[in-house]
Amino acid sequence: MKRYNLYLDEAKLRTLRVVAASESMTVSDLVREAIDRIITDRLSGKKRSSSENLQDRLNRFFEHVAQKISASLSEEEIDERVLGPATPAVRRPW
């Protein structure tokens, strides 16, 4: 597997993080799943509607999820839901 950087606006990243946390997945897992679905659909010959492109579908998805996200969740709360509670650093005696 190779590393690849993506640039996402903050609202979409926040939405992905909440979805990932609610499904006990990572954002990377969700992105890979979406890419797999797109590749599978394209290779199987599924055509998207000419009036609807992938960006429109993604925007509708993000709007739908954003409506379900509590605006009061802080980035730290999202991190805790995604990564689990933070553990204190262990200080070594040396």
pTM over 0.85: no
Confidence of residue 47 (pLDDT cuts 50, 70, 90): low
5 domain residue, yes or no: no
Q: Residues 29, 20: contact at Cβ < 8 Å?
A: yes
Q: For residue range 52-70, what is the model confidence (pLDDT) as tens digits?
A: 677 777 777 777 777 766 6
State which residues form the domain around 45: 10-67
Which has the higher per-residue pLDDT, 45 or 5? 5
- Cα separation, 77 vs 13, whole angstroms: 14
**Nearby residues of 57 by Cβ (< 8 Å), 6 or more positions away:** 48
Q: Is the pLDDT assigned to residue 11 strictly greater than 70?
A: yes
Contact 82, 26 (CB under 8 A): yes
Q: Phi, psi at residue 39, to the nearest 5°?
A: -60, -45
User: Is the residue at 55 inside a domain?
Assistant: yes
Tell whether 88 is covered by a domain: no
Query: What was the pLDDT predicted at 24?
Result: 83
* Residue 87 falls inside a structural domain: no
Domain count, the chain: 1
pLDDT at 38: 82
Residue 78 lies in a domain: no
Residue 1 lies in a domain: no
Is residue 73 assigned to a domain?
no
Q: Long-range CB contacts (< 8 A, 24+ apart) of 37-44?
A: none
